[in-house]
Amino acid sequence: MTQDPRPTPGTVYLVGAGPGDPGLMTARALELIAAVDVVLYDALIPATALDGARPDAELVDVGKRGGGAQVPQETTEQLLVRHALAGRSVARVKGGDPFVFGRGGEEAARLRAQGIPFEVVPGVTAGIAGPAYAGIPVTHREHAPGVAFVTGHENPDKPESTIDWPGLAGFPGTLVFYMGVRRLPQITASLIGGGRSADEPAAVVQSGTVGGQRVVTGTVGTIAEVASEAGIAAPAVTVVGSVASLRDELRWFEDRPLFGRTVAVTRARAQASGLARRLRALGAEVIETPTIRTRSLAATVPPLGAFDVIALTSPNGVRELVASLLRDDRDVRELHAATIAAVGPGTARVLREVGLRADVVPETFTGEALAAALTAGDGRAGATGAPDGGGRGASAPRRVLLARAATGGSALPDVLRAAGDEVTELALYETVAEPLSDAAREQIAAADYVTFTSASTATFLAQAGGMPTGDRPRPVSIGPVTTAALSELRVTPAVEAAEATIDGLVAALVADASD
């Protein structure tokens, strides 16, 4: 056994995060990002790549920021080594694949030299995924028996170029160039000079796999000019080969209903991912600019056996109620005798996740509608198959626990009290402002749509000075309560969901975009 007092080195994971679409991250990448102590990440990783990181993990940006200076490779490698030798597990997260123009090989060699254990997690590389999302297969039985991935970073005019350009021009298959879109004139001239036909199809894919994807097509002879005229910029890959002509027939990504639209999601980060995922799947470019966040009030829940009805008005309320019970060494069995009322399908769904079925879900999804549904009688304990409410007589006041946010309005308790109910309000969490950066404010202003999923997202966005004015972005409201909050801020939603759910909001947005 060694007497060395130093900790056992942590493992370094060289993780590929794919080309940009968060759905193209591997299960292994997500699992490791959620587990490690330290994440060192590059600029070109999916927007949501690190959302699953541990709250106490150290996240270090070693990428290029807004054209600024990149952290030198040597510094990055030193950081990797230092964290690992201190016993920490490290995910080195890179765009695409770590071993394809990702300097993963150099980092692995450095780790090996230092005796640090490492693992490589391959990723979906941009040179395959970008063309794929443009409708271009990089190999094809009738077009290309092979594909070569080439750096466009080298200047072919310079004598120190290590690329054998005539050899490359003679490669019998597709060529995919990474980097160096600005060098396209030299690259294509060298290919033609090396014997490649100037008439061969070519395409450039910028920001492949994300909502901002742009594709131009031409020939080896024209593509440099076409790309420059279209203002194509990094990150982009260039495809040379007859497969590029298949795009006309096989394009698919750009035909999605929200392709080319930018949508700002103002929802709390913890809840935004579902909506953002749905919008991205429809082709939208989503910017997550949370204006609110919920904070647990660590409430003490009164004995639940004392209530006939437990009313929950948000998914977060359900999670907080269950968490509060467990914190006190209690659990949902206390709810067994009560009628459970949920304000909408989202709340009902989270109830199901914890093994509870909502007895009452109103037709429309407002607190008032919930009150109406309860007072209409279908919330009476026993009326919906729930056991009776603790053996009280039908004339005794019904005891209702309203478990919700501290800022919940008085409409719901007022209606219930007016109907003779005995209402106990339990504040489980509060909604607080999430600071909005200048960059986020500008992103919202430049978006096509801005979504409001609750009154508080509207109020807090206005307070943070981020409420857009004018026709763009078009405000999208989830329902009447949110619309009322917007109206108070003198904002008229361009779109209001017919049904106050996330599904309803997405449907309304798609309908508006296709008008």
Give the catalytic positions in this structure: 42, 64
Of 243 and 402, nearer to ligand SAH (C-beta) is: 243
Within residues 75-94, the interface with ligand SAH by CB under 6 A covers 94
Of 9 and 96, nearer to ligand SAH (C-beta) is: 96
Query: Does residue 150 bind ligand SAH (CB under 6 A)?
Result: no
Exactly one of 38, 91, 100, 500 binds ligand SAH (CB under 6 A); that residue is 100
List, in order, residues 6 or more apart from 164 with CB less than 8 Å away: none
Least distance to ligand SAH, CB of residue 98, Å: 7
Q: How far apart are CA 485 and CA 157, in angstroms?
A: 62
**Could you tell me where the beta strands, DSSP code E, fall in 343-457?**
399-405, 422-433, 449-452
Contact call for residues 287 and 173 (beta carbons, < 8 A) = no
Provide the 3-class DSSP secondary structure of residue 310.
strand
String marking each residue 223-242 x if it binds ligand SAH according to CB under 6 A? -----------xxxx-----
Q: How far apart are CA 417 and CA 120, in angstroms?
A: 62
Phi, psi of 324 (to 5 degrees): -65, -40
Within residues 117-146, the interface with ligand SAH by CB under 6 A covers 125-126, 130
Determine how many CB atoms are found less than 10 A away from the CB of residue 511: 13
Of 250 and 354, nearer to ligand SAH (C-beta) is: 250
Stretch that binds ligand SAH, among 63-71, 99-107, 292-300, 374-382 (CB under 6 A): 99-107
Least distance to ligand SAH, CB of residue 283, Å: 15
Stretch that binds ligand SAH, among 98-106, 385-393, 411-419, 498-506 (CB under 6 A): 98-106
Query: Does residue 63 bind ligand SAH (CB under 6 A)?
Result: no
Q: How far apart are CA 288 and CA 194, in angstroms?
A: 47
Query: Does residue 44 bind ligand SAH (CB under 6 A)?
Result: yes
Q: Which of 324, 322, 207 shows the shortest CA–CA distance to 259? A: 207
Within residues 160-189, the interface with ligand SAH by CB under 6 A covers 178-179
Q: How far apart are CA 152 and CA 282, in angstroms?
A: 32
Least distance to ligand SAH, CB of residue 93, Å: 11
Exactly one of 22, 38, 91, 101 binds ligand SAH (CB under 6 A); that residue is 101
- 73: tokens are 């490779």
| CA 335 to chain centroid | 34
Query: Does residue 208 bind ligand SAH (CB under 6 A)?
Result: yes
Q: How far apart are CA 173 and CA 344, in angstroms?
A: 55
Count of residues in the chain = 515
Query: Does residue 96 bind ligand SAH (CB under 6 A)?
Result: yes
Phi, psi of 10 (to 5 degrees): -75, 160
Least distance to ligand SAH, CB of residue 123, Å: 6
Query: Does residue 22 bind ligand SAH (CB under 6 A)?
Result: no
For residues 278, 280, 285, 290, the Cα torsion angle rounded to the nearest 10 degrees is 50
Query: Does residue 20 bind ligand SAH (CB under 6 A)?
Result: yes
What residues line the site for ligand SAH (CB under 6 A)?
A: 19-20, 44, 94-97, 100-102, 125-126, 130, 178-179, 205, 207-209, 234-237
